Amino acid sequence: HSMPKRAAKAVEAVEPEEEKGFDKEQNIVSGLRFEEQIRKLDIELERKKNQIQKEYEIKKQKYYQQRLEQTCRVPRFWSQAILNHPDIHDMLNNSEMDCFEHLVQFKMQDISDGDIQGRRYIFKFSKN
């Protein structure tokens, strides 16, 4: 069985990397440059995602306020919501649970100060 001429030429044209003057060190350095560019793009992506998230958090503020006003009209809304949450309920002792009976308002506030990201929880209680 003989190989077609085209296939024979293709096989002959393939040379091992070492025979082509392959410089392993140079390729590693080039690869590192690509990695640096990828890392820069990842940083840019993260910044843009944060910008978009901040933009939408601002847009959501009016709805948070409307929700807050609505939930304040429902007696014991937040105390029941928090005390009925299985994870939170298990962390509270009886005196803490009693305090939550006086909770009239609960708000979350996103904090963004430079590289610091977080959330503040604000509890407002009635006089007891």
What's the CA gap between 38 and 32, in Å, rounded? 10
**Same domain flag for 113 and 80:** yes
**Same domain flag for 66 and 42:** yes
Structural domain span for residue 86: 75-128
Neighbours of 78 (CB within 10 A): 20
**Same domain flag for 66 and 36:** yes
Establish if 81 belongs to a structural domain: yes
Angle CA 111–80–92, to nearest 5? 70
Give the sign of the dihedral formed by CA 89, CA 91, CA 95, CA 99.
Answer: negative
Is 33's pLDDT higher than 60?
yes
**75: Cα separation from own chain's centroid:** 35
pLDDT for the residue 60: 92
What's the CA gap between 58 and 15, in Å, rounded? 60
Q: Say which residue, 16 or 97, is predicted with more confidence.
A: 97
**Same domain flag for 101 and 126:** yes
Listed residues 56, 73, 90: the one ending a domain: 73
Q: How confident is the model at residue 42 (pLDDT cuts 50, 70, 90)?
A: very high
> pTM score, two decimals?
0.53
What's the CA gap between 105 and 79, in Å, rounded? 9
Could you read off the pLDDT of 59-106 as tens digits, one per residue?
999 998 999 899 889 988 888 888 888 888 888 888 888 888 888 888
**Same domain flag for 82 and 35:** no
Establish if 104 belongs to a structural domain: yes
Establish if 35 belongs to a structural domain: yes
pLDDT for the residue 14: 52
Determine contact, residues 116/63, Cβ cutoff 8 Å: no
**Same domain flag for 69 and 79:** no
**Same domain flag for 120 and 82:** yes
Q: How confident is the model at residue 52 (pLDDT cuts 50, 70, 90)?
A: very high
Establish if 6 belongs to a structural domain: no
Which whole number is the average pLDDT over 44-69?
92
Establish if 42 belongs to a structural domain: yes
The number of folded domains in the chain is 2
**Same domain flag for 116 and 128:** yes
Alpha helices in 1-127 (DSSP H): 5-13, 24-72, 77-83, 86-89, 94-100
Mean predicted lDDT score pLDDT of the chain: 82
Is 31's pLDDT higher than 60?
yes
